[in-house]
Amino acid sequence: EAQVTQNPRYLITVTGKKLTVTCSQNMNHEYMSWYRQDPGLGLRQIYYSMNVEVTDKGDVPEGYKVSRKEKRNFPLILESPSPNQTSLYFCASSNGGVNTEAFFGQGTRLTVV
Amino acid sequence: AQSVAQPEDQVNVAEGNPLTVKCTYSVSGNPYLFWYVQYPNRGLQFLLKYITGDNLVKGSYGFEAEFNKSQTSFHLKKPSALVSDSALYFCAVSVTGGYQKVTFGTGTKLQVIP
């Protein structure tokens, strides 16, 4: 089954404790991205990657890092999480960039206390 | 910069009536436009897209959308609403020419009343 898998689904952590949210897709897609969803703000793009070792900032990259060492994986790293990063995070992938539809993971609900 | 506006936070419609969820956009260049739907505790699912060609686009679950370049709009429509259509709907835009970001609207909650 074609899918985008995020882990964990739920995470509560403390301020400053580094964490990684994993994302993996099994569709051999080149384009992957991370979004955060906040009430009243919709989805905002954090980072995107057009291929292995090619990443770029989205609209809200501050406080986040990404890497793309393999085509299927695109982890999101929070080096020093803060409460304002409490949000619902989605990973997505698509085949061919921004003119093709995206497949989304189930989401990761992160709470930073 | 590119942007998307969904002017209605919530749309209520009676079951069996036609529904419209509004979306307007702003880009420099030719847009790619998308609609996605999000059910509770789920990720977004693709409904339909406009890339080029016919202005009327048909998608999943009986939904359609009309691209209007002069009004910079891409409203989502369905002739007869179902209770199961109740969900959160997002419009998204990207642009041709190498700028690889995707911008989403703030979402519109559709409530179909039995």
* Mean local confidence (pLDDT), B33-50: 93
Find the farthest-apart pair of alpha carbons in chain B and give their distance in angstroms, rounded: 45
CB burial class (10 A; 0-12, 13-18, 19+) of residue B64? middle
pLDDT at A99: 80
Residues of B with CB under 8 A from a CB of A: 6, 32, 34, 36, 41-46, 49, 51, 90, 92, 94-96, 99-107
Instruction: Give pLDDT tens digits for B45-102.
Output: 999 999 988 999 999 999 999 999 999 999 999 999 999 999 999 999 988 665 578 8
Residues of B in contact with A48 (CB under 8 A): 100-102
CB contact under 8 A, A104 and B44: yes
In angstroms and rounded to an integer, the radius of gyration of the C-alpha atoms of chain A is 13
Which is it for the CA torsion B92, A39, A29, B45, positive or negative? Answer: negative
Residues of A in contact with B107 (CB under 8 A): 42-43
Cis peptide bond N-terminal to A83, omega within 30 = no
Q: What is the pLDDT along chain A (113 residues), one digit of tens a residue?
A: 889 999 999 999 999 999 999 999 999 999 999 999 999 899 999 999 989 999 999 989 999 999 999 999 999 999 999 999 999 999 999 987 778 889 999 999 999 99
Pick from A43, A54, A56, A89 the residue to mutate for testing the B interface (most B CBs within 10 Å): A43
For residue B114, the tally of other CB atoms under 10 A from its CB is: 8
CB contact under 8 A, B106 and A35: no
CB contact under 8 A, B49 and A102: no
Of all residues in chain B, the one with the smallest CA distance to A3 is B43
Size of interface A-B (CB pairs under 8 A): 65
CB contact under 8 A, A42 and B104: yes
Residue A2 touches chain B, beta carbons under 8 Å: no
CB contact under 8 A, B34 and A101: yes
CA angle A57, B75, B98 (to 5 degrees): 30
Bridge partners, residue A87, by sequence: A110
* Mean local confidence (pLDDT), B19-43: 93
* Secondary structure of chain A in HEC code, one letter for each residue: CCCEEEECCEEEECCCCCEEEEEEECCCCCEEEEEEEECCCEEEEEEEEEECCEEEECCCCCCCEECCCCCCECCEEECCCCHHHCEEEEEEEECCCCCCCCEECCCEEEEEC
**Pairing of the two strands A65-66 and A76-78:** antiparallel
* Residue matched to tokens 């619902």: A88
